[in-house]
């Protein structure tokens, strides 16, 4: 049995943009029969199975339209001033907590999530959303370094991309402020959730110094830059690198010795979703063991779905870049909602980008 890697108790190419949702948020309807057969899904890139949407539409007649976002802050900005028409979203752990505080996520009707029992109990009472009141866990994983083995000596530290001239112009970092600043903090010996201004400024200064060596802050596109030969070493989510490793055997992934971010991404329904019953049906569809196993075999992220894990091949379950070993977990952290201290990260990120 795969245990939860977090103190839980008390992160996309196969689905492309079908066009902007751009629909006015409607008042929630009361029943399945009252809803039009549509669903607006707002998701990370390359973060769904090949057949997930097709099988849902075949089962329900509901057509799914999808938009993509690059990071949690983009997701929040889209919804903070009102829902433009999304039904299901995929926020990470800390963002779930932020969205609950802001009243963006609505409570889930567990009675309509008949597949919720497929989840590993170790994941069903997360500190960021006790009892899964507003969200259900979807995937978990790490952020690390993807690299081309023929061009790069095996990385061991965040310093290989944050504090080195060795790969000048061949480095890509994520366009994600909490991840990038958090990994810089980790490299400097601080917590990824530091609320000390001096530590956050030290991380900012490190990133500004390194900018001359960075080719791009990529919006969840580092894996594609590796494949295209536009970069040789990138900061990326483990599953995204695993996807391209299947295609290109010269690529690999490692978590630096300092440790990293361990994340849980979740499925939730935002306030004023125009199709809330369709949303519940879609979440329940994803919770189906066979559906979830197909997603895992496509995107290569770890699943909290215990029944789906029984259907996965040993090479998936035993892959340490998907299910990290205890020593990696022990050195890593979840990103937390740090309230008003987020402003320090906003300011530091703005200064890094402007430098």
- Single out the residue of 102, 153, 142, 178 nearest to residue 265, CA to CA: 142
d(CA 171, CA 161): 7
Task: Say if residues 104 and 286 touch (Cβ distance below 8 Å).
Answer: no
**What per-residue confidence (pLDDT) applies to 23?**
34
Neighbours of 102 (CB within 10 A): 12
What's CA 106's distance to the chain center, in Å? 20
Residue 246: the pLDDT is: 86
Q: Rounded distance, CA 341 to CA 343, Å?
A: 5
pLDDT in tens, 110-155: 999 999 999 999 999 999 999 999 999 999 999 999 999 999 999 9
- For the chain, how many residues are written? 355
Query: Which residue is associated with the tokens 């800390």?
Result: 94
Alpha-carbon gap, residue 186 to 56, rounded angstroms: 41
DSSP-based three-state secondary structure for 28: coil
What is the pLDDT, as a whole number, of residue 4?
Answer: 54
Which residues, given as ranges, of the chain have pLDDT below 50? 1-3, 7-32
Distance CA 200, CA 334 (A): 17
pLDDT of residue 18: 35
Phi, psi of 54 (to 5 degrees): -60, -45
The tokens describing 228, both together, are 């295209």
Nearest-10 Cα torsion for 197, 200, 204, 207: 170
Task: Give the domains, in start order, of the chain with CATH numbers.
Answer: 32-139+263-324 (3.40.190.10), 141-261+331-354 (3.40.190.10)
What are the tens digits of pLDDT across the range 2-15? 445 554 433 333 33
Give the DSSP letter string of 155-218. P-STHHHHS-STTTT-EEEES-HHHHHHHHHHHTTS-TT---HHHHHHHHHHHHHHGGGEEEEE
DSSP annotation of 106: P
pTM of this prediction?
Answer: 0.89
CA 228: distance to chain centroid? 23
pLDDT value of residue 34: 72
């Amino acid at each position: 049995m795969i245990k939860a890697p977090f103190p839980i108790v008390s992160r996309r190419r196969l689905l492309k943009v079908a066009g902007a949702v751009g629909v006015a948020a409607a008042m929630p309807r009361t029943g399945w029969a009252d809803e039009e057969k549509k669903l607006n899904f707002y998701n990370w890139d390359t973060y769904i199975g090949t057949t997930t949407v097709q099988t849902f539409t075949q089962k329900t007649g509901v057509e799914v339209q999808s938009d993509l976002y690059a990071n949690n802050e983009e997701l929040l900005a889209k919804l903070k001033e009102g829902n433009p028409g999304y039904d299901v979203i995929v926020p990470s752990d800390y963002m779930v907590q932020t969205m609950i505080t802001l009243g963006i996520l609505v409570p889930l009707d567990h009675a309509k999530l008949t597949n919720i029992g497929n989840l590993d109990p170790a994941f069903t009472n997360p500190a960021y959303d006790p009892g899964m009141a507003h969200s259900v866990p979807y995937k978990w994983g790490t952020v690390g370094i993807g690299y081309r083995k023929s061009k790069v000596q095996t990385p061991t530290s965040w310093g290989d991309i944050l504090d080195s001239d060795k790969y000048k112009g061949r480095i890509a970092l994520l366009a994600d402020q909490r991840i990038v600043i958090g990994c810089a903090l980790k490299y400097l010996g601080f917590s990824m959730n530091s609320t000390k201004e001096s530590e956050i400024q030290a991380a900012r200064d490190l990133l500004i110094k390194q900018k001359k060596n960075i080719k791009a802050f990529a919006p969840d596109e580092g894996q594609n830059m590796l494949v295209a030969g536009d970069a040789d070493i990138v900061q990326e989510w483990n599953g995204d690198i695993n996807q391209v490793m299947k295609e290109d055997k010269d690529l690999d992934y490692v978590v630096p010795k300092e440790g990293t971010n361990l994340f849980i991404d979740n499925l939730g329904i935002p306030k004023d979703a125009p199709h809330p019953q369709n949303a519940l049906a879609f979440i329940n569809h994803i919770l189906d063991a066979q559906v979830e196993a197909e997603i895992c075999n496509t995107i290569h992220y770890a699943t909290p779905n215990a029944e789906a894990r029984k259907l996965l091949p040993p090479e998936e379950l035993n892959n340490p870049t998907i299910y990290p070993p205890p020593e990696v977990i022990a050195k890593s952290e979840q990103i937390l909602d740090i309230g008003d201290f987020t402003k320090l990260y906003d300011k530091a990120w703005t200064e890094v980008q402007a430098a």
